[in-house]
């Protein structure tokens, strides 16, 4: 079936619809990963976004129940150049098209994804529409205007109530802003006694759990839309060893007095170089974010920059000078290494152990 991709700058791309038939509206972004399209689609951090994959062949290995990062697709749509509908992989259970159709997600293929990526890089992310019908300009604009940039996507993707996952190790509270399954699996591997909390959990609710440490997860959208949570985190970080990833990193930075800003087109993919200043070592990382911490705003805030991006020198990690608090912008659980940055989870465990010893002394 013929399909159309309409960009906010007036560009029109003609291709073919796959997955659900109909219309999708969202913010178009590009992802540079060569694999991992199922994990990308089911990452809650992509809520409200239409993903343009830069790698030309997508769908080659199909989809399966093991590679889900959540229980559904949170992306609004998918844009690919070449779609493979005859996947070849021993784990494959259904094709990408069958998967999108089951998840009610609209996709378009047969378009020039390189051209789209170059537009996003020069213009920045923008609203777009995927449609299975040709649309008039006024209808396109009306449809695009129904997309709200300032929507509280975290409220949509965060769990609604607490959940306990029993373990024999440290008691870790995880504040869920749109957490990926693999992050929870990392804490399970460390035998942590886990309590998953909604994004709007109060300090009183958290204190009742008698935790050893607090983790702030990834999630979608602007960290400044969560100022009430930032106020809670300001109090948490002086009481508990704290670790944050992605949106959690940005929230910790705001709580420490730094500032954040929206990037022109963000970082998305599994091949982003990051420099660990303390280790004097570079790592390849998985990333997905539209916002970053302002490096200038960190000055005189008792914050040490621990990681920087090797492409644009943006802040990729921080720690507090005196408190057992640190965070990274990238996804250490994303495993592009595949275990190169697991040391960050072990650092969090060590901070908890040191804090326990100091309390008992």
List pLDDT tens digits, range 52-84.
999 999 999 999 999 999 999 999 999 999 999
CATH number at residue 39: 3.50.30.20
In tens, the pLDDT along 285-296 reads 999 999 999 999
Can you tell me the distance from the alpha carbon of 238 to that of 232, in angstroms, rounded to the nearest whole number? Answer: 11
Residues known to be catalytic: 246, 331, 333
Per the annotation, does 48 bind a ligand?
Answer: no
Boundary-marking domain end, from 114, 144, 174: 144
pLDDT at 339 over 90: no
Residues 101 and 220 in one domain: no
User: Is 270 assigned to a binding site?
Assistant: no
Q: Which residues fall within 8 angstroms of residue 52, CB to CB, at 6 or more apart?
A: 28, 29, 30, 31, 79, 113, 116, 117, 120
Q: How far apart are CA 70 and CA 43, in angstroms?
A: 6
Report the number of distinct structural domains present in the chain. Answer: 2
- pTM for the model stands at 0.96
143: phi then psi, degrees, rounded to nearest 5:
-65, -45
Same domain membership, residue 171 and residue 287: yes
Per residue in 86-128, pLDDT (tens digit) is 999 999 999 999 999 999 999 999 999 999 999 999 999 999 9
Quick check: 149 pLDDT over 90?
Answer: no
Residues 8 and 109 in one domain: yes
Res 61: pLDDT: 97
Residue 30: per-residue pLDDT: 98
Supply the pLDDT for residue 96: 98
- Please write the tens of the pLDDT for every residue from 239-279: 999 999 999 999 999 999 999 999 999 999 999 999 999 99
pLDDT, average across residues 218-226: 96
* 250 known member of a binding site: yes
Task: Tell whether 247 is in a known binding site.
Answer: yes
Query: Domain range for residue 322?
Result: 153-360
Q: Does residue 121 sit in the same domain as residue 189?
A: no
Distance, CA of 319 to CA of 323 (rounded, Å): 8
Q: Is the pLDDT of residue 360 over 90?
A: no
Q: Which among 314, 321, 264, 274 has a CA at the least distance from the CA of 294?
A: 314
**Domain check: are 35 and 127 in the same one?**
yes
Query: Known binder of ligand: residue 45?
Result: yes
The Cα–Cα gap between 292 and 302 comes to 18
Assign residue 213 the CATH number of its domain.
3.40.50.880
């Amino acid at each position: 079936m013929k399909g159309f991709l309409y960009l906010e700058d007036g560009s029109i791309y003609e291709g073919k619809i796959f997955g659900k038939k109909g219309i999708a509206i969202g913010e178009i972004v590009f992802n540079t990963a060569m694999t991992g399209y199922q994990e990308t689609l089911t990452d809650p951090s992509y809520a409200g976004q239409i993903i343009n994959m830069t790698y030309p062949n997508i769908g080659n290995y199909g989809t399966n129940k093991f590679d889900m990062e959540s229980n559904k697709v949170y992306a609004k749509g998918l844009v690919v150049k070449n779609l493979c509908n005859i996947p070849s992989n021993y784990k494959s259970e259904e094709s990408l098209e069958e998967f999108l159709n089951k998840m009610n997600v609209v996709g378009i293929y047969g378009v020039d994804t390189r051209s789209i990526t170059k537009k996003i890089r020069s213009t920045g992310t923008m609203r777009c529409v995927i449609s299975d019908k040709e649309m008039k300009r006024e209808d396109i604009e009306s449809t695009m205007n129904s997309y709200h940039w300032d929507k509280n996507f975290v409220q949509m993707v965060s769990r609604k109530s607490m959940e306990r996952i029993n373990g024999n190790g440290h008691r870790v509270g995880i504040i869920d802003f749109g957490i990926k399954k693999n992050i929870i699996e990392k804490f399970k591997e460390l035998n942590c006694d886990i309590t998953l909390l909604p994004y709007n959990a109060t300090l009183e609710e958290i204190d009742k759990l008698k935790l050893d440490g607090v983790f702030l997860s990834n999630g979608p959208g602007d960290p400044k839309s969560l100022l009430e949570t930032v106020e809670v985190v300001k109090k948490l970080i002086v009481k508990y060893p704290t670790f944050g990833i992605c949106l959690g990193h940005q929230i910790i930075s705001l709580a420490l007095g730094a500032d954040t800003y929206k990037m022109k087109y963000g970082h998305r993919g599994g091949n982003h170089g990051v420099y660990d200043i303390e280790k004097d070592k570079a790592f390849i990382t998985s990333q997905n974010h539209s916002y970053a911490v302002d490096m200038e705003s960190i000055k005189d805030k008792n914050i040490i920059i621990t990681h920087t991006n090797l492409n644009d020198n943006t802040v990729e990690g921080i720690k507090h000078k005196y408190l057992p608090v640190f965070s990274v912008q990238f996804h250490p659980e994303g495993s592009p290494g595949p275990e190169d940055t697991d040391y960050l989870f072990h650092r969090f465990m060590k901070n908890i152990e040191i804090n326990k010893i100091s309390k008992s002394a």
